[in-house]
């Protein structure tokens, strides 16, 4: 990674702050607060200083760190005491070094007379220092306050230095929408949860699924259709991928793309959101996985990238299944769930419950209930998905304990995607 000039030691960056040797950071922070207090007296405005948590952001590049710094101005409702942005340059040829910057972020809350302040420390770690980032972090955080760790992009396959940072954190926040290999990465997160049970784990992508999960629950809220929930036999989930090449071969799908942030690669075949939805439904239905037969598509390696087939059984020992498939779709972001269909049978009556995206409309879905020998019952509904990463992050920062349901599904998926 080439460090841009805005983060060269000895220069001042508007977003990162003033370059200060890391051992003198606290002195500079005290000076900044004194200057803010003087400005408050002169301007007769009220300074709001909060001290609830440390937010640590781990970024793989300067570009991603700058993006996270810009996003912080949308977190005014969150009581952050100190933000620490760690930029990792762990190239094997890079020399061991630490460069740090400090600034006091100040934004108006209601008007310019009432301002919100929090401290931001940016640290660029290179070479072997990266592996000792947890020890450095303990010197940088404000003591006696919980540490919320936000890991931008996909965690490293080795788990380091993520593991040592999770060991001293109260919450680890990731976004599986950036995972190029969700299967192995979800297994890594499940192992971290087992190794460091005091560190809660949450996923911004799980928050994006909330409206869709609510629509699924609404199918079975009424007495008329509630019995069909236990009779579900098959779950089909289709997720969006970019179009194939002229040959139409799934193997020709590109392996990287650009996210909404515009600065990091995003998986285009692997269905992280679809996996989470499938794991949630499996857990709610209390299905058990069983071995697939030789003729079952799940027992072969012929499935295209981004496709999964799981053979399961319900509590009565009846066979059930979950199928996850990619769908060429250029109108919605890759990974978006385009179709969710539940096939149920109650006595001799089959019922289909489905939620599908409308063509050319990313804000609405069509819900449908189809029973044999009856007209389909359909409704067009606003999905009200939360796309802004800042709001999803605010929601996660407000959680003080474990998200037991998500963590249980994370463990379910760890066994399903092996």
Same domain, 154 and 13: yes
Domain ranges, residue 366? 208-386
Strands 114-126 and 46-49: parallel
Q: Answer whether residue 95 shows pLDDT above 60.
A: yes
Joined together, the tokens standing for residue 410 give 């994370």
Q: Judging by DSSP bridges, how do beta strands 53-59 and 147-151 pair with one another?
A: parallel
DSSP class of residue 390 equals: H
Burial class (CB in 10 A: 0-12, 13-18, 19+), 352: middle
Same domain, 180 and 326: no
The closest of 181, 132, 177, 173 to 156, measured between CA atoms, is 181
Instruction: Clarify whether residues 219 and 368 are in a common domain.
Output: yes
Residues 241 and 362 in one domain: yes
Is residue 260's pLDDT more than 80?
A: no
How would you label 359-370 residue by residue, b for 16+ Cβ within 10 Å and e otherwise? eeeeeebebbbb
Residue 107 lies in a domain: yes
Pairing of strands 17-19, 97-108: antiparallel
pLDDT band at residue 30, thresholds of 50, 70 and 90?
confident
The string over 199-217, giving b where at least 16 C-beta atoms fall within 10 Å of a residue's C-beta and e elsewhere, is bbbbbbbbbbbeebbebbe
Query: Degrees (nearest 5) of the Cα angle 253, 296, 345?
Result: 105
For the chain, give the number of residues: 418
C-alpha to C-alpha distance for 277 and 183, rounded to whole angstroms: 14
- Domain boundary, last residue among 171, 204, 237: 204
Supply the DSSP string of 75-140, one letter for each residue: -TTS-EEEEEEEEEE--TTSPPEEEEEEEEEEEESSSTTEEEEEEEEEEEEEGGGGGGHHHHHHHH
Domain assignment present for 397:
no
Asked whether residue 184 falls in the same domain as residue 220, the answer is no
Does residue 60 sit in the same domain as residue 187? yes
| 188 Cα distance to chain centroid | 14
Q: pLDDT tens digits for 307-321? A: 999 999 999 999 999
What does DSSP say about strands 232-241 and 46-49: parallel, antiparallel, or unpaired?
Answer: unpaired
Total tally of structural domains belonging to the chain: 2
Q: In what order do the strands lie in the sheet with 361-371?
A: 288-289, 308-313, 319-328, 232-241, 337-346, 349-358, 361-371, 377-382
Asked whether 337 and 314 are in contact (CB, 8 A), the reply is no
Angstrom distance (rounded) from CA 264 to CA 62: 11
Q: Are residues 257 and 108 in the same domain?
A: no
- Of the candidates 158, 184, 204, which is a domain's last residue? 204
Mean pLDDT of the chain: 83
Q: Residue with structure tokens 């001799």? A: 348
- Rounded to an integer, the average pLDDT of 240-253 is 49
Name the band, by pLDDT with cuts 50, 70 and 90, for residue 347: confident
- In which residue are the tokens 């609405």 written? 364
Dihedral sign, Cα of residue 93, residue 97, residue 103, residue 107: positive
Which of 33-42, 306-315, 353-362 is the least confident region? Answer: 33-42
Q: Do 351 and 377 contact (CB within 8 A), yes or no?
A: no
Q: Report the percent of the chain where pLDDT is more than 90.
A: 52
In a domain, 418, yes or no: no
Statement to judge: residues 21 and 117 lie in one domain: yes
pTM for the predicted model, two decimal places: 0.86
The confidence score (pLDDT) of residue 113 equals 56
């Amino acid at each position: 990674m080439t460090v841009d000039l805005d983060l060269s030691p000895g220069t001042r960056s508007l977003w990162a702050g003033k370059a200060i040797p890391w051992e003198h950071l606290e002195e500079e922070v005290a000076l900044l607060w004194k200057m803010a207090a003087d400005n408050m007296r002169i301007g007769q405005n009220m300074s709001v200083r909060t001290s609830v948590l440390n937010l640590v952001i781990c970024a793989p590049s300067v570009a991603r760190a700058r993006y996270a710094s810009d996003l912080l101005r949308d977190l005014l409702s969150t009581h952050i005491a100190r933000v620490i942005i760690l930029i990792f340059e762990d190239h094997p040829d890079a020399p061991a070094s630490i460069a740090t910057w400090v600034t006091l972020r100040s934004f108006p809350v209601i008007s310019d007379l009432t301002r919100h302040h929090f401290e931001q420390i940016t640290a660029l770690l290179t070479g072997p220092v990266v592996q000792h980032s947890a020890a450095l972090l303990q010197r940088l955080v404000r003591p006696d306050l919980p540490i919320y760790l936000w890991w931008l992009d996909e965690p490293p396959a080795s788990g380091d230095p993520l593991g040592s940072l999770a060991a001293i954190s109260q919450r680890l926040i990731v976004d599986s929408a950036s995972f190029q290999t969700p299967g192995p990465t979800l297994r890594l997160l499940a192992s971290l949860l087992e190794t460091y049970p005091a560190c809660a784990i949450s996923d911004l992508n799980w928050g994006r699924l909330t409206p869709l999960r609510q629509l699924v629950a609404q199918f079975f809220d009424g007495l008329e259709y509630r019995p069909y929930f236990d009779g579900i036999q098959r779950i089909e989930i289709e997720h969006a991928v970019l179009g194939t090449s002229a040959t139409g071969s799934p193997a020709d799908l590109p392996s990287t793309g650009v996210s909404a942030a515009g600065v990091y690669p995003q998986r285009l075949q692997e269905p992280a959101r679809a996996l989470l939805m499938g794991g949630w439904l499996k857990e709610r239905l209390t299905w058990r996985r069983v071995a697939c037969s030789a003729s079952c598509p799940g027992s072969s390696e012929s499935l295209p990238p981004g496709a999964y087939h799981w053979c399961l059984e319900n509590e009565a020992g009846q066979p059930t299944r979950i199928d996850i498939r990619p769908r060429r779709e250029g109108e919605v972001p890759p990974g978006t769930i385009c179709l969710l269909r539940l096939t149920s049978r109650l006595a001799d009556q089959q019922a289909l419950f489905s939620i599908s995206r409308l063509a050319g409309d990313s804000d609405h879905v069509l819900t449908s209930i189809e029973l044999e020998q009856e007209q389909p019952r359909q409704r067009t509904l606003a999905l009200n998905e939360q796309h802004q990463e800042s709001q999803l992050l605010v929601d996660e920062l407000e959680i003080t304990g474990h998200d037991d349901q998500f963590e249980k599904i994370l463990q379910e998926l760890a066994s399903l995607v092996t």
